[in-house]
């Protein structure tokens, strides 16, 4: 059987993991890296050390990756949206590649639900139903029953006949996803036309559960608390809401971080499996491989935990973006700030596909191949708080907790109440990063308050220097107001 290695256009395989922090790639534990396989890939790739997503939540972030649009343009600024809310006035990546002779496919575990909800143009899909749906939750059944059934339905039968249990959130699905992904790679590589395959794992997503040996790889063997195998109190909506507002002392934080690092190593081994499949199918010389994530995670580095709850820290917004192109003669780490929306036009440029679309992103090919710097500003905002985060000022604009924010459509989709959307979005913290400078805007009851930080000399953004550098502060504030079209 022949493969498509002789195609003029290369295949593209994107391998993503939900909630993978950039600083976990190459992190040292016990004198060894927790990502040895990704590290090997980095040595022959372009690795962007400062790639930012605009909102550190899955739906808006994935839409920005695959549409090249910022959320304020595609209109998805949270996970609680309907397909009709999405406004794509450009051709998304998968459809653009399809129009240029590619077969396009996407496969995921339970974290890929947003790839189901929004039409991004993939021809072949192996994805769960939209899980932000009340009917879906009801079909899963009570907590104890669904967890019990999941013990027996993590197999082909469960996926086909009881997908609500098979795709149960938080239950590790890596082995099944690897098997199906490898099968797809084999099938796609035997076609005459090139292919684009997006594989999206939930491996590093809370509650950080993984199979043996990963859950014990970095953990204290003498720990026998409630988070022994996964982060506790994240299996019911009420638990998640309560835990969102609890302080650091309420968590076994060391154990949770150990579990998280174990999931990162698990994902690293999954990447190795995919790379091995590429080699087995003899398409390694004609396949671009991209490692990415939709967002990172905070572990109380800024008084709160979760994804996208604070713009003072970069940890939720900075994600790994590694591009291996076998045709490139360059391999290095690029420190310049770039955005997730820049990936789409970059790929089109690499493939010499004519781009007449008005994407928000810009091609990075000159930066990659010729080291020509680009001035790219980063815009970002917080996600929706499920409840008031620890450390938030009483003067900060607030809105009700999650259960009072949502509404249910006729088909069961969980959405934000229309009358609350404006107040929710107005209460979000926002930031602008330009080079070494970060401007933060906090909406308080008496108006917006701005602060300026030096990211190079104060990476944790603890010291407001707006008074020390008034000209820089005025310039950044003006740029911010123009970018977000405030007031």
Confirm if 34 and 27 have CB atoms less than 8 A apart. Answer: yes
Identical fold between 11-131+169-376 and 381-484: no
pLDDT at 447: 94
**What's the whole-model pTM score?**
0.95
Catalogue the E-assigned strands of 176-300.
195-201, 287-292, 298-299
CATH of 11-131+169-376, one of 3.50.50.60, 2.60.200.20, 3.40.720.10, 3.40.50.300: 3.40.720.10
Tell me the C-alpha distance between 32 and 225, whole Å.
26
Q: What angle do CA 101, 107, 112 make, to 5 degrees?
A: 125
pLDDT at 6: 54
Nearest to 369 by CA among 434, 322, 325: 325
The per-residue b/e assignment along 165-194, b for 16 or more CB within 10 angstroms, e otherwise, is: bbbbbbbbbbebbbebbbebbeebbeeeeb
Residue 343, H or E segment: helix 343-350
Six token digits for residue 339: 């955005």
The domain spans of the chain are 11-131+169-376, 381-484
Six token digits for residue 227: 């988070």
Nearest to 64 by CA among 350, 343, 425, 290: 343
- Burial label for 478, CB within 10 Å (0-12, 13-18, 19+), is exposed
For residue 11, the SS3 value is strand
Tell me the C-alpha distance between 265 and 51, whole Å.
21
Confirm if 387 and 241 have CB atoms less than 8 A apart. Answer: yes
The per-residue b/e assignment along 377-386, b for 16 or more CB within 10 angstroms, e otherwise, is: ebbbbbbbbb
pLDDT at 388: 81
Tell me the C-alpha distance between 343 and 44, whole Å.
18
Confirm if 350 and 325 have CB atoms less than 8 A apart. Answer: yes
CA distances from 51 to 92, 280, 293, 459 (A): 20, 31, 10, 15
Tell me the C-alpha distance between 68 and 361, whole Å.
5
Six token digits for residue 206: 């809370």
Q: What is the DSSP letter of 129?
A: P
Q: What phi, psi does 255 have (nearest 5°)?
A: -65, -40
C-alpha radius of gyration, the chain, whole number: 22
Confirm if 399 and 420 have CB atoms less than 8 A apart. Answer: yes
Tell me the C-alpha distance between 228 and 222, whole Å.
10
Tell me the C-alpha distance between 245 and 243, whole Å.
5
pLDDT at 487: 40
pLDDT at 393: 87
Q: What is the pLDDT along the chain (487 residues), one digit of tens a residue?
A: 456 655 689 999 999 999 999 999 999 999 999 999 999 999 999 999 999 999 999 999 999 999 999 999 999 999 999 999 999 999 999 999 999 999 999 999 999 999 999 999 999 999 999 988 999 989 998 888 888 899 899 898 999 999 999 998 888 889 999 999 999 999 999 999 999 999 999 999 999 999 999 999 999 999 999 999 999 876 666 666 667 777 788 889 999 999 999 999 999 999 999 999 999 999 999 999 999 999 999 998 887 888 999 999 999 999 999 999 999 988 999 999 999 999 999 999 999 999 999 999 999 999 999 999 888 999 999 999 888 887 788 899 988 888 889 999 999 999 999 999 999 999 999 999 999 999 999 999 999 999 999 999 999 899 999 999 999 999 999 999 998 864 4
pLDDT at 7: 63
Q: What phi, psi does 67 have (nearest 5°)?
A: -110, -20
SS (H, E, C) 79-107: CCCCHHHCCCCCCCHHHHHHCCCCEEEEE
CATH of 381-484, one of 3.40.50, 3.30.70, 3.30.1120, 3.40.1350: 3.30.1120
């Amino acid at each position: 059987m022949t493969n498509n290695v002789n195609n003029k256009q290369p295949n593209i395989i994107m391998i993503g993991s939900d909630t993978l922090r950039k600083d976990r790639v190459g992190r040292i534990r016990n004198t060894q890296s927790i990502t040895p396989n990704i590290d090997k890939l980095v040595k022959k790739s372009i690795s962007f050390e400062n790639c930012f997503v605009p909102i550190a939540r899955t739906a808006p972030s994935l839409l920005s990756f695959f549409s090249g649009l910022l959320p304020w343009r595609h209109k998805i600024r949270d996970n609680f949206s309907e397909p009709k809310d999405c406004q794509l006035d450009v051709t998304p990546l998968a459809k653009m590649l399809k129009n240029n002779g590619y077969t396009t496919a996407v496969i995921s575990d339970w974290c890929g639900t947003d790839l189901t909800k929004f039409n991004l143009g993939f021809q072949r899909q192996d994805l769960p139903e939209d899980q932000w749906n009340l009917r879906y939750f009801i079909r899963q059944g009570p907590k104890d029953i669904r967890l019990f059934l999941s013990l027996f339905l993590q197999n082909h039968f469960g996926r086909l006949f009881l997908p609500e249990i098979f795709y149960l959130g938080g239950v590790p699905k890596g082995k099944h996803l690897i098997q199906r992904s490898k099968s797809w790679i084999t099938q796609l590589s035997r076609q005459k036309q090139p292919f684009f395959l997006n594989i999206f794992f939930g491996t590093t997503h809370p509650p950080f559960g993984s199979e043996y040996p990963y859950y014990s790889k970095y953990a204290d063997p003498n720990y026998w608390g409630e988070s022994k195998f996964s982060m506790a109190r994240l299996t019911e909506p009420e638990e998640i809401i309560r835990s969102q507002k609890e302080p650091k002392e309420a968590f076994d934080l060391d154990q949770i971080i150990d579990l998280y690092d174990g999931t990162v190593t698990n994902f690293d081994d999954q990447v190795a499996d995919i790379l091995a499949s590429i080699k087995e199918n003899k398409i390694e010389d004609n396949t671009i491989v991209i490692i990415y994530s939709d967002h990172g995670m905070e572990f109380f580095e800024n008084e709160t935990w979760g994804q996208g709850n604070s713009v003072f820290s970069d940890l939720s917004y900075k994600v790994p973006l590694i591009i291996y192109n076998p045709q490139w003669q360059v391999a290095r780490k690029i420190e310049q700030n770039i955005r997730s929306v820049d990936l789409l036009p970059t790929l089109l440029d690499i493939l010499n596909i004519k781009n007449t679309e008005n994407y928000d992103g810009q091609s990075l090919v000159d930066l990659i191949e010729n080291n020509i710097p680009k001035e790219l500003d980063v815009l970002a905002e917080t996600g929706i708080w499920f409840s008031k985060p620890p450390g938030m000022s009483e003067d900060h604009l607030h809105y009700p907790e999650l259960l009072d924010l949502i509404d249910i459509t006729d088909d069961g989709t969980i959405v934000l109440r229309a009358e609350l959307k404006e107040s929710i979005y107005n209460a979000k913290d926002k930031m602008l990063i330009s080079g070494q400078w970060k401007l933060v805007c906090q909406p308080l009851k008496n108006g917006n308050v701005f602060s300026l930080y030096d990211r190079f000399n104060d990476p944790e953004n603890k010291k407001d220097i707006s008074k020390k550098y008034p000209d820089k502060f005025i310039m950044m504030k003006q740029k911010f107001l123009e970018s977000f079209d405030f007031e």
